[in-house]
Amino acid sequence: MKSTRCQSAKLRILSLAFSVAWCPLLSAGTNPDAPLGANLNAVNDFSDEFPFVNLMKSSRDWIPGNANGCFDCRDPGGNPVCLAPNACPVTINVDADGYPTSLLPNQVLTTIVHAGGTPGRLAPGNYTIRFAGQGTLQLLGMSQV
């Protein structure tokens, strides 16, 4: 019994010594210029934080509408344009990254990239929008094309 206690005590001492020796190597860094963010709020389109270079990563989900004036086919309210039979497809064809790949006939997709928090928080400059195919792109808000 005594030898078991002695072995157990030696193992605890050895474990403690090993932990103390490795702790400095495992401690957090203190580089203030580290390119890693911490203490960010939830990722959303109305935040004043922009954790991604690609602003679409924090935009709202695509909103399916139609070209006749229905803004959101998922929530037509009482809008007769939304309620007409087969006038308002809610299916959105997207790729693995969530980008639209095609539109159904008469379909319009809308999203909100930055609803804004503090005015002027979105960095001024040129932003690039890329798409392949034919269609109309409309930007609203504080954008210039």
Task: Please determine, for residue 121, whether its predicted confidence score (pLDDT) is greater than 80.
Answer: no
- Of 127, 131, 128, the residue nearest 101 (C-alpha): 131
Give the Cα separation of 145 and 7 in Å (integer).
Answer: 76
Q: Determine the average pLDDT of the residues in 58-79.
A: 90
What pLDDT does residue 135 have?
84
Task: Please determine, for residue 7, whether its predicted confidence score (pLDDT) is greater than 90.
Answer: no
pLDDT per position as a tens digit, 76-118? 888 898 888 888 889 999 999 999 999 998 899 999 888 876 7
**67 contacts 114 by C-beta, under 8 angstroms:** no
- Using alpha carbons, list the distances in angstroms from residue 127 to 14, 32, 67, 141: 58, 28, 26, 14
Task: Please determine, for residue 18, whether its predicted confidence score (pLDDT) is greater than 80.
Answer: no
Give the Cα separation of 76 and 135 in Å (integer).
Answer: 24
Predicted TM-score (pTM) of this structure: 0.65
Share of the chain above pLDDT 70, in %: 70
- Using alpha carbons, list the distances in angstroms from residue 144 to 61, 98, 129, 138: 23, 25, 12, 10
What pLDDT does residue 113 have?
86
What pLDDT does residue 27 have?
57
Partners of 102 in the beta sheet? Answer: 93
How many CB atoms sit inside 10 A of residue 123's CB?
A: 7
Residue for token pair 């809308």: 110
What pLDDT does residue 45 have?
82
Q: For residue 70, name the pLDDT band (cuts at 50, 70, 90).
A: very high
Task: Please determine, for residue 143, whether its predicted confidence score (pLDDT) is greater than 90.
Answer: no
